[in-house]
């Protein structure tokens, strides 16, 4: 379904221009004054409102305040004249998405701003619908993931969760392995049974051993009473062994025996006990490499590598970056009792361009920090701060800062910039036109024409 846009402007030319520009990709409704705009707004759930500041009886900003009191997450753009800079600044400060100045000189830029605003609206809506879905699947953790890479992964998780098979989760630090293990449990037939997790890298060998196997009274100094271990407690449920690559060689061979026999003995006892748990393991160092380096037993590797699922790094998740940022924004606004947001287009671009070496955890901390430190209102790129490395990715930096020779005429220099930019953009997007359109904020069709002009695409 096409998004719905409301254009409120008393100038017939402006209304017609925006309608012409957007009518193929959106359902455009027009209002020439505040009265008509109010009636339309009552009746239709708009994805975006473009509002002129100077209307016959109203000021655009006041009307938008009225609309936003009814729908706080309304995405809106204020259209101002050159003389109304103060209104424009007020609009952005109050959290409107952006402002545009009349007369429109650059139609591509206009289309790009509208496109970005619509993306923000759809991100808000997706999060709301996801919340409802998750509330229904009670017990499941909050998982944001609608990018193609995450949709694929979540499909696989759903399938394997229902089977009783061992799962190995591999992915860089902060990509969500813990979250995925909990999701497997929540979606499995064992969901109402116990879920136990232990970080194999965080405990000394003897402590981890007694935690997993349990012990009899008097098995060692301090064992004042018999205690069941996780192998026993996880019976009928799921056991999550995190950072499995950090397990000591001795424990690796004990675990192998448990998995082979589906039985174990408590420390200090020789009578075997049966257990039936489903094992989920996670590692941020690829296990195959650990085997090759002689640090992980090959036979154990084959036992646990039944279904391996790879968590994509955040930088490969496209729009999920913004969805996650909004999700964390809501969470920390609620936690700290603040009203920060929305993000300016510059902040959105910075979030998208960051490489996020610490993945989702790093993004989460970045947003938590902003909400904690800022008093409220819009979040601009500069608020994201250098600590979260939200600068342009290195491969986009060159293209963003070209160095045309000063001896070129302006037009030529511009052309050289564009050619250079388009080439780097296409490279960075791996030749994928939709991805390039998303990264650059240039509508796909438009981008295609430019790429063709420079000979980067042939058909
Ligand atoms: N898809 C997601 N949706 C929402 N929150 C997420 C998602 N993925 C991760 N998170 C959040 O990001 C943080 C890091 O995730 P998690 O602890 O699962 O990562 P990890 O891969 O286990 O990291 P490590 O390798 O360091 O143990 C957590 O606070 C988690 O709630
Ligand atoms: Mg983890």
Same domain? For 203 and 320 the reply is no
Instruction: Give the model's pLDDT for residue 341.
Output: 83
For ligand 1, whether the C-beta of 363 sits within 6 Å is: no
**Helix (H, G, I), strand (E, B), or coil: what is residue 52?**
strand
> Ligand 1: which of 145, 146, 179, 284 to mutate, judged by most atoms within 8 Å of the beta carbon?
179
Residues 6+ apart with CB under 8 A from 139: 186, 191
For ligand 1, whether the C-beta of 238 sits within 6 Å is: no
Instruction: Give the model's pLDDT for residue 393.
Output: 39
Q: What's the 336 CA to ligand 1 centre distance in angstroms?
A: 21
Q: What's the 359 CA to ligand 1 centre distance in angstroms?
A: 8
Same domain? For 294 and 172 the reply is yes
Instruction: Give the model's pLDDT for residue 347.
Output: 87
Same domain? For 166 and 287 the reply is yes
- Closest atom of ligand 1 to CA, residue 181: 18
Q: What's the 105 CA to ligand 1 centre distance in angstroms?
A: 44
Same domain? For 83 and 187 the reply is no
With CA atoms as reference, report the closest residue to 375 among 328, 338, 406.
Answer: 338
Same domain? For 124 and 160 the reply is no
**Helix (H, G, I), strand (E, B), or coil: what is residue 192?**
coil
* Tokens describing residue 426: 């296409």
For ligand 1, whether the C-beta of 284 sits within 6 Å is: yes
Distance (Å) of CA 128 to CA 125, 157, 323: 5, 22, 11
In a domain, 201, yes or no: yes
Kind plus residue range of the DSSP H or E element containing 396: helix 394-400
Q: What's the 257 CA to ligand 1 centre distance in angstroms?
A: 31
- Closest atom of ligand 1 to CA, residue 142: 4
Same domain? For 71 and 206 the reply is no
Same domain? For 226 and 352 the reply is no
Given 131, 158, 190, the domain boundary residue is: 131
Strand 195-199 relative to strand 273-274, pairing: unpaired
- Which residues does the chain have with pLDDT short of 70? 82-83, 129-140, 386-416, 454-459
For ligand 1, whether the C-beta of 127 sits within 6 Å is: no
With CA atoms as reference, report the closest residue to 154 among 163, 144, 164.
Answer: 144
Same domain? For 410 and 368 the reply is no
* Tokens describing residue 160: 């394997």
pLDDT by residue (tens digit) across 364-415? 999 999 999 999 888 988 898 754 554 443 333 333 333 444 445 566 666 6
Q: How many structural domains are present in the chain?
A: 4
Strand 227-228 relative to strand 214-215, pairing: antiparallel
Question: Are 67 and 74 a contacting pair, CB within 8 Å?
Answer: yes
3-state helix, strand, coil in the chain (%, to 5): 50, 15, 35
User: Using CA positions, which residue lies closest to atom 13 of ligand 1?
Assistant: 361
Residues 6+ apart with CB under 8 A from 378: 92, 93, 95, 341, 342, 343, 344
Same domain? For 225 and 321 the reply is no
Domain coverage including residue 431: 396-453
For ligand 1, whether the C-beta of 318 sits within 6 Å is: no
> How far is residue 352's CA from residue 94's CA, in Å, rounded to a whole number?
23
pLDDT by residue (tens digit) across 272-296? 999 999 999 999 999 999 999 999 9
pLDDT by residue (tens digit) across 102-137? 888 888 889 999 999 999 898 888 877 666 555 445
In a domain, 138, yes or no: no
For the chain, count helices (H), then strands (E): 20, 16
For the beta carbon of residue 73, count every other beta carbon within 10 angstroms: 16
For ligand 1, whether the C-beta of 143 sits within 6 Å is: yes
- Closest atom of ligand 1 to CA, residue 178: 18
For ligand 1, whether the C-beta of 173 sits within 6 Å is: yes
Same domain? For 169 and 294 the reply is yes
For ligand 1, whether the C-beta of 358 sits within 6 Å is: no
> How far is residue 459's CA from residue 449's CA, in Å, rounded to a whole number?
10
For ligand 1, whether the C-beta of 177 sits within 6 Å is: yes
Note the pTM of the prediction, 2 decimals: 0.64
For the beta carbon of residue 440, count every other beta carbon within 10 angstroms: 22
Q: What's the 243 CA to ligand 1 centre distance in angstroms?
A: 14
Distance (Å) of CA 129 to CA 2, 44, 49, 146, 452: 18, 19, 21, 12, 39
């Amino acid at each position: 379904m096409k998004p719905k846009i409301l254009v409120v402007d008393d100038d017939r030319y402006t209304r017609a221009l925006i309608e012409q520009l957007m009518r193929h990709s959106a359902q455009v409704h027009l209002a020439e004054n505040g009265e008509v705009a109010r009636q339309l707004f009552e009746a239709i759930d708009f994805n975006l409102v473009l509002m002129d500041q100077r209307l016959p009886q109203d000021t655009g900003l006041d009307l938008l305040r009225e609309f936003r009191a009814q729908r706080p997450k309304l995405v809106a753009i204020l259209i101002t004249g050159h003389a109304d800079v103060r209104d424009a600044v007020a609009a952005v400060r109050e959290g409107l998405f952006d402002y545009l100045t009349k007369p429109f000189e650059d139609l591509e830029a206009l289309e790009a701003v509208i496109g970005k605003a619509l993306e923000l609206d759809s991100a808000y809506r997706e999060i709301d619908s996801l919340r409802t879905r998750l509330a229904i699947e009670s017990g499941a953790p909050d998982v944001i993931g609608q990018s193609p890479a995450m949709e694929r992964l979540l499909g696989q998780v759903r399938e394997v969760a229902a089977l009783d098979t061992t799962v190995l989760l591999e992915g860089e630090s902060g990509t969500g392995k813990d979250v995925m293990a909990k999701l497997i449990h929540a979606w499995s037939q064992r969901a109402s049974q116990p879920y136990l997790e232990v970080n194999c890298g965080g405990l000394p060998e003897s402590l981890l051993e007694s935690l997993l196997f349990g012990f009899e009274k008097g098995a060692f100094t301090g064992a004042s009473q018999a205690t069941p271990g996780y192998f026993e407690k996880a019976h009928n449920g799921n056991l999550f062994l995190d950072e499995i690559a950090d397990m000591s060689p001795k424990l690796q061979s004990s675990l192998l025996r448990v998995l082979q026999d589906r039985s174990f003995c408590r420390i200090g006892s020789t009578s075997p006990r049966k257990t039936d748990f489903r094992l989920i393991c996670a590692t941020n160092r690829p296990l195959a490499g650990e085997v090759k380096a002689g640090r992980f037993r090959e036979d154990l590797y084959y036992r646990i590598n039944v279904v391996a699922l790879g968590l994509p790094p955040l930088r490969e998740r496209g729009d999920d970056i913004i969805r996650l940022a909004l999700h964390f924004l809501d969470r920390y606004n609620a936690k700290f009792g603040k009203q920060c947001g929305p993000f300016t287009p510059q902040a959105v671009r910075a979030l998208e361009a960051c490489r996020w070496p610490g993945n989702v955890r790093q993004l989460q901390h970045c947003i938590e920090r902003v909400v904690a430190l800022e008093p409220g209102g819009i979040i601009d790129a500069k608020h994201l701060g250098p600590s979260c490395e939200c600068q342009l990715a290195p491969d986009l930096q060159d293209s963003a800062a070209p160095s045309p020779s000063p001896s070129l005429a302006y037009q030529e220099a511009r052309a050289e910039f564009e050619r250079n930019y388009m080439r780097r953009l296409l490279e960075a997007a791996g030749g994928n036109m939709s991805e390039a359109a998303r990264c650059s904020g240039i509508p796909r069709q438009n981008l295609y024409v430019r790429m063709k002009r420079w000979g980067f695409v042939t058909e």
